[in-house]
A and B are shown apart, each in its own frame.
Chain A
Amino acid sequence: MTEKLAFIRRRNLNLETQKKTESATLSIKPVKEKKTSRVLPRTENVKILTSEKPMVVLTRLQSGTGSLKITFKGVGGIADALWEMQNGKQGTFNAIPYDDGKRPLFSKINDETTVIGLRHVRNLRRLLFYTYPNVSVEIETYDNEIIKFEQNTRLITLYQHDGEIYIRHETKQYSSQKDLFESNGF
Chain B
Amino acid sequence: MNTKILTKGANVSINDILPGAKSITMGFSWDVIESKGSLTEVVASVIACGQDGQAVSKEHVVFFNQLMSPDESINMVQPSLTTQDKEQIEINLNEIPSNILTLAFILYVNPDLRNPGTLESMKKGVVKILDRSNTEVLRYEITPNDTQGVSAICVGELYKRNGQWKFRAVGQGYAGGIKDVSNYYGYSS
Determine if A143 and B188 form an interchain contact, defined as CB atoms under 8 angstroms apart. Answer: yes
**A residues less than 8 Å from B114 (CB atoms):** 67, 103, 107, 109, 115, 117
Chain B interface: which size bin?
A: 35 or more
Report how far A8 CA is from B67 CA in the complex, Å: 12
Determine if B41 and A29 form an interchain contact, defined as CB atoms under 8 angstroms apart. Answer: no
CB contacts under 8 Å to B, within A10-62, are 11-13, 15-16, 20, 22-30, 32-33, 59-62
CB contacts under 8 Å to A, within B30-48, are 37-39, 41-43
Q: How far is the CB of B115 from chain A (nearest CB, A)?
A: 9
Q: Is B63 an interface residue (CB 8 A)?
A: yes
Q: How far is the CB of A66 from chain B (nearest CB, A)?
A: 4
Report how far A63 CA is from B65 CA in the complex, Å: 8
Report how far A31 CA is from B63 CA in the complex, Å: 14
Q: Is A142 an interface residue (CB 8 A)?
A: yes
Contact of A102 among B38, B63, B67, B82 (CB under 8 A): B38
Determine if A109 and B81 form an interchain contact, defined as CB atoms under 8 angstroms apart. Answer: no
Report how far A66 CA is from B182 CA in the complex, Å: 13
Q: Is B141 an interface residue (CB 8 A)?
A: no
Report how far A121 CA is from B111 CA in the complex, Å: 14
**A residues less than 8 Å from B42 (CB atoms):** 16
Report how far A29 CA is from B69 CA in the complex, Å: 13
Q: How far is the CB of A52 from chain B (nearest CB, A)?
A: 25
Q: Is B12 an interface residue (CB 8 A)?
A: no
Q: Is B11 an interface residue (CB 8 A)?
A: no
**B residues less than 8 Å from A11 (CB atoms):** 78
Report how far A115 CA is from B87 CA in the complex, Å: 26
**A residues less than 8 Å from B65 (CB atoms):** 13, 60-61, 63-65, 118, 121-122, 163
Contact of A29 among B39, B63, B90 (CB under 8 A): B90
Report how far A171 CA is from B90 CA in the complex, Å: 46
Contact of A101 among B41, B58, B87 (CB under 8 A): B41
Q: Is B118 an interface residue (CB 8 A)?
A: no
Determine if A16 and B76 form an interchain contact, defined as CB atoms under 8 angstroms apart. Answer: no
Q: Is B101 an interface residue (CB 8 A)?
A: no
Determine if B68 and A30 form an interchain contact, defined as CB atoms under 8 angstroms apart. Answer: yes
Determine if A30 and B76 form an interchain contact, defined as CB atoms under 8 angstroms apart. Answer: yes
Determine if A12 and B110 form an interchain contact, defined as CB atoms under 8 angstroms apart. Answer: no
Determine if A103 and B112 form an interchain contact, defined as CB atoms under 8 angstroms apart. Answer: yes
Q: Is A119 an interface residue (CB 8 A)?
A: yes
Q: Is B134 an interface residue (CB 8 A)?
A: yes
Determine if B39 and A27 form an interchain contact, defined as CB atoms under 8 angstroms apart. Answer: no
Determine if A66 and B90 form an interchain contact, defined as CB atoms under 8 angstroms apart. Answer: no
| Beta-carbon nearest neighbor of B32 in chain A | A16
A-B contacts besides A29-B75, A65-B189, 15 pairs, CB < 8 Å: A12-B76, A16-B41, A23-B81, A25-B134, A27-B77, A27-B90, A30-B75, A33-B67, A59-B58, A61-B58, A67-B113, A69-B113, A103-B114, A118-B65, A163-B66
List 11 A–B pairs whose Cβ atoms lie within 8 Å, in order of A's numbering: A12-B76, A25-B80, A30-B76, A30-B77, A61-B58, A63-B65, A67-B111, A103-B38, A103-B39, A142-B189, A143-B182
